[in-house]
Copies of this chain bind each other. A is one copy, B any other.
Amino acid sequence: MNKLTHLNKDGQANMVDVSGKDITLRTAEAFAEVSVSDELFYKIRNNELEKGDVLSTAKIAGIQGGKKTSELIPLCHNIFISKIDVRLELNEEKNSVEIYSFAKTNSVTGIEMEALTAAAITALTVYDMCKAVDKSIVIKEVKLISKTGGKSGNYTIDN
């Protein structure tokens, strides 16, 4: 069976072995921005969309989507998630929906992908709720804002 001890050196997909890593508290914050037209911004703010309340629906979709990260991203581990939070804010100056997600775990590997997936699924749900009004919506700037914990230490984005 020593065939299995040959490491995967040929560029094929390779899930990291996290069995030797320490359990530590890890957090991650991510961000996404959904840029919309004037008309659509107005309708979101006033809850006038036919599909209903964009903000509360997208928030729940984001939390549930974050819990599905290891199903969606092939090399992610099915870690225990202590908390996922998603918050949506309307930015009137930019006509955009700003999405702030947060994820936390006590685990052997980090939780960045859960925060990013939660933010992205939230943004896609905003798109879905609004697309009957305007198809030129753009999801911009899905990115990691910060992470804490783990061997690679803390990280905060440069602005």
Q: Tell me if A15 and B59 are in contact (CB < 8 A).
A: no
Of B104, B112, B127, the residue contacting A17 (CB under 8 A) is B104
Total count of chain A residues near the partner, CB < 8 A: 89
Specify the main secondary structure of chain A where it touches its partner.
mixed
Closest Cβ neighbor of A144 among chain B residues: B135
Within 8 A of B (CB), among A108-139: 108, 112-113, 116-117, 120-121, 123-125, 127-129, 131-132, 135-139
Q: Tell me if B50 and A4 are in contact (CB < 8 A).
A: no
**Please, which residues of chain B bring their CB within 8 A of the CB of A18?**
82-83
With both chains docked as a complex, state the minimum distance between the C-beta of A69 and any C-beta of chain B, in angstroms.
Answer: 8
Residues of chain A at the chain B interface (Cβ within 8 Å): 1, 3-4, 6, 8, 11-19, 25, 29, 47-48, 50-53, 55-57, 59-61, 63-65, 67-68, 70-85, 87, 89, 100, 102, 104-106, 108, 112-113, 116-117, 120-121, 123-125, 127-129, 131-132, 135-147, 152, 155-158
